[in-house]
Structure 1
Amino acid sequence: MTKRNIQVSLRKGNINDAKKVLELQKEVLLESEFMISVIEEYEETSEQIRNWIEKILENEREKLIVAESKGQIVGLIVFRSKSNKRISHTGSFTAMVKKEYRNQGIGKLLIKELLKWAEHNPLIEKVSLGVLSTNQRAIELYKSMGFVEEGRKIKEVKFSDDLYVDDILMYKQV
């Protein structure tokens, strides 16, 4: 249940979600000023998303969780980890929620579920993320959940000739 009493359920993503995941990603790219990619450069197909999900499902150090409401995927969180031996204990996540479902606690539910999974996964010790310095709501959410800033990529994202934004790197040990 969310802040506006919207029924939301969380579950592990699966390959049958590919089309809905693709739709969500495109919608969020169109409506959010906090994404690094823009819709014009996003060329994924349902088949590519299906293959991407399949690879996540095959890797015990990776996870895809979706949030559903009334049969539609309204949010997701994906945790990816590199296979390099010396950094395989770490990984980072990306989360997205449809605009009309934001500020309802869905992002927090997704992060809690991911952290619970990570805490019970003996292969994962550190959960990381990158967030644009202009996304204050997300930064406050991450801090409230125990994430701390570990660095910044200054002027990492360029929106226009005179508008640059820092990429803040945050982490939490699990």
Structure 2
Amino acid sequence: MIIRAARPEDAVDICQTMAQPECYGNTLQLPYPTEQMWHQRLSGKPENLHLLVVELQGRVVANGGLELSTAPRRRHVANLGMAVHPEFQGQGVGTALLSALLELADNWLALRRVELEVYTGNQPALALYRKQGFEVEGTAREYAFRDGHYVDALLMARLRPQAG
């Protein structure tokens, strides 16, 4: 398993992951992504966005990112998002990716707070985030439109652990 920065040539594999109902259905992405769209996103990403991928045997099977706040008084905060191809869920890929993103946040970006939103019914993601120290801070009712109806999301955050 290799974890590295995302590159424009990863667009094909990321598109395949994000085309899976389990992935776009549990994120704010739309169905039917295109490789061109992902190539453009990866080629023109802003400086406040740090994207990582997990590569297994030459194939990118997961992607995730930290979007740093640009508000002057929230420069210590980032929003986290990630997706793992369904074929590789439950195999430690998400744990490895999340650990790498949090290591980047804690030890290199000097972030104090990492936030995320997760749909209330996404139990595997909730378990993963809780395992890594995220806590529920609230519920966003009718947060997003998905599969023909509005769904709630939990607002979660993790504060960087204080050095011992």
TMscore range, shorter length? 0.7 to 0.9
In structure 1, what is the Cα distance between the partners aligned to 2:56 and 2:111? 29
1:34 corresponds in structure 2 to 26
Given that 2:13 and 2:61 are in contact with CA atoms closer than 8 Å, whether structure 1 keeps it comes out as no
1:82 corresponds in structure 2 to 69
SS in 1 for 2:144: strand
1:12 corresponds in structure 2 to 5
Write the letter of the residue equivalent to 1:150. E
Gaps of 5+ in 1: 1-7
Q: CA deviation at 1:52?
A: 3.6
Number of residue pairs aligned between Structure 1 and Structure 2: 158
2:84 corresponds in structure 1 to 97
Q: Normalising by the residue count of structure 2, what TM-score does the alignment of the two structures yield?
A: 0.83
Write the letter of the residue equivalent to 2:159. Q
Q: CA deviation at 1:77?
A: 0.9
Q: CA deviation at 1:24?
A: 2.8
Q: Which residue among 2, 17, 24 is the counterpart of 2:17?
A: 24
Given that 1:22 and 1:49 are in contact with CA atoms closer than 8 Å, whether structure 2 keeps it comes out as no
2:106 corresponds in structure 1 to 119
In structure 2, what is the Cα distance between the partners aligned to 1:140 and 1:88? 27
In structure 1, what is the Cα distance between the partners aligned to 2:78 and 2:141? 22
SS in 2 for 1:39: coil
1:166 aligns with 2:152: yes
SS in 2 for 1:104: coil
Distance verdict in 2 for CA 1:82–1:52, change over 3 Å: farther
Q: Normalising by the residue count of structure 1, what TM-score does the alignment of the two structures yield?
A: 0.79
Q: CA deviation at 1:109?
A: 0.5
In structure 1, what is the Cα distance between the partners aligned to 2:124 and 2:74? 29
Write the letter of the residue equivalent to 2:41. I
In structure 2, what is the Cα distance between the partners aligned to 1:110 and 1:50? 18
Gaps of 5+ in 2: none
